[in-house]
Amino acid sequence: GVMLARQLPRRVVVPAADDMTALGARLAARLRPGDVIIATGDLGAGKTTLTQGIGEGLGAAGPIISPTFVLSRIHHAAEGRPDLVHVDAYRLSSADELEDLDLEETLDRSVTVVEWGENVAEILSPDRLQITVLRSADPDDDTRTVLITGVGDRWTQADLDELGLDDLEL
């Protein structure tokens, strides 16, 4: 079969919402045009908050809010940085509907973040950063656990190391 590079997930403990933004900004520093991020997690987990941090890191024009009804929105970034394309795949029920969003048009020159993207990940790109945001079992605990996995040749062990997740102080 085809060998697809898939690294062990990195785990980051995120105590509060502004830490999630800081994590996103840290990721953004290493993101390149063409990068795809698939964000998974329950409603309210923090996928949009993470995307806001990525947008901040890219210097993207806000506000970055869930593209629930438009399904996809483009945020133009700072000079020399890739634009942020923010997708909400929750309501996508077919590959045709995904195609209608014309994501290919911006994919190569942007950073594409797809909330609820687990079902479209493989169609969208063989190379992606898969991020899962988990809530605590205790509803009064704001702590989130973020699992980050690189899929495909883009995300070697070295690329993941370069994200600097270990020395991120949250």
Q: Angle, nearest 10°, between helix axes 47-58 and 17-30? A: 50
Instruction: Please identify which residue in 19, 22, 26, 47 interacts with Mg ion, judged by CB under 5 A.
Output: 47
β-pair partners for 75: 84
Of residues 36 and 160, the one with the C-beta less far from Mg ion: 36
Would the CA dihedral through 165, 167, 169, 170 be positive or negative?
Answer: positive
CB 76 to ligand ADP: min, Å: 21
Binding of ligand ADP by 81 (CB under 6 A): no
Indicate the residue type of 160. L
Among candidates 170, 169, 162, 168, which has minimal Cα distance to 7? 162
Site for ligand ADP, residues 106 to 165, rule: CB under 6 A? 115, 142-144
CB 38 to ligand ADP: min, Å: 13
Residues that bind Mg ion (CB under 5 A): 47-48, 66, 115
